[in-house]
Amino acid sequence: MNEFSLKYGCNPNQKPARIFMADGSELPIEVLNGRPGYINFLDAFNSWQLVKEIKEATGCVAATSFKHVSPTSAAIGKVLPEKLKKACFVDDVEGLDDSPVACAYARARGTDRMSSFGDWIALSDECDEVTAKIISREVSDGIIAPAYSEKALEILKAKRKGTYNVVKIDPAYVPEETERKQVFGITFEQGRNNFKINRELLSNVVTKNKNLPDDKAIDMIIALITLKYTQSNSVCFAMDGQAIGVGAGQQSRIHCTRLAASKADLWQLRQSEKVLGLPFKDGVGRPDKNNVIDLYLSDVDSADVLAEGAWQKYFTVRPEPFTRAEKDKFLAGISGVTLASDAFFPFSDNIEKAAKSGVSYVVEPGGSVRDDLVIEAADNHNMVMCFTGMRLFHH
């Protein structure tokens, strides 16, 4: 098959629509279930490249949760600590610790659940039964992976009344070196971005503190590869083998940093005892729990969910508010976070903002006329900063 017809393009009025191989060769995919759409395939092919490259760069199983052609998170298959399992709503999943691919997806999906609602999933390795069980209970559009176990495929085919999109990709497929697209009837052509992101790329440490442990280098690599497939401008916060906050598609880099920092802070706060101990009633679903937690962690001392007459719907007893002062104190104890940027930081305000979210490691291309001020700001916070010399714009 060298062509696959689509119901429509980006929007229902954009017809006809299809994906096809211009050279007449076979498509490197097989649709095992459902009927993926135009945006589904954009997510699928971008997300597959992301997890494939993380696997190649780290040697670890990888997963990502994609939404509207940008990752909400990406992660490698590290076993989740108990607090993180609970924060990601997977503390009840049997066999999780024994499945690296399930751990990777649990991390990716659980990082930014608001953005991941209705996601597209990519796995670097075979989808197993444990991973399929996690996917089966989440709101999701589809998945791409190089293989599926028999039981996993059975579970996924039953999702969404049998219409869930399941795509199998040939892991050996290598695209042409030149890529093209049309905008307004005009064809754009460029060489593929085959730039390799690895440990060697992090050798130019420009700060006084040059201590870059291997696990933090892996966080940098994951963050950079995540940015390589995120709509620019973009920055990414990472920690413990996963992206914990992605700020995508902003015109201003400080706005990217603020957006990503707010997501990273929420990821941290969701693992606090105050949130993990919220007295939810039995029967409150994961999407509702997530929305309530988001309100509970909003930037007011008493979130709307705690208003008189509202809390009874979700809680057995009224929880104590999580005050701004309490949240600030909790976040002040965070350190070891990595910040990556797809282009240079033009001002030191990005570093100052990142420091408030526990950033200790920074990686960016460098090349700004104010690099000296950015480095000085990093030195003031005893951060380790690497310059890669390579921009990672993605459009």
State the catalytic residues: 67-68, 233, 395
Give the DSSP per-residue string, 100-128. Answer: HHHHHHHHHHHHSHHHHTTEEEEESS-B-
How would you class 113 by CB atoms within 10 Å of its CB: exposed for 0-12, middle for 13-18, buried for 19 or more?
buried
Question: What type of residue is 248?
Answer: A
As a dihedral over the C-alpha atoms of residue 8, residue 11, residue 12, residue 15, rounded to 10 degrees, the angle is -40
Place of tokens 């996917």: 135
- Cα–Cα distance measured from residue 264 to residue 360, given in angstroms and rounded to the nearest whole number: 14
**CA 283 to mean position of chain CA atoms:** 28
**Maximum distance among all Cα pairs of the chain, rounded to whole angstroms:** 64
- Cα–Cα distance measured from residue 241 to residue 53, given in angstroms and rounded to the nearest whole number: 14
Write down the H helix ranges in 32-165.
38-58, 82-87, 100-111, 113-116, 129-136, 150-157
Is 280 within 8 Å of 314 (Cβ atoms)?
yes
With CA atoms as reference, report the closest residue to 73 among 106, 118, 24. Answer: 106
- Cα–Cα distance measured from residue 212 to residue 200, given in angstroms and rounded to the nearest whole number: 12
- Cα–Cα distance measured from residue 87 to residue 286, given in angstroms and rounded to the nearest whole number: 11
Under the phi-then-psi rule, with left for phi > 0, alpha for psi from -120 to 50, and beta for the rest, what region is 27?
Answer: beta
Place of tokens 């920074």: 362
Which H helix or E strand runs over 295?
helix 286-296
Place of tokens 């996924």: 156
- Cα–Cα distance measured from residue 113 to residue 108, given in angstroms and rounded to the nearest whole number: 9
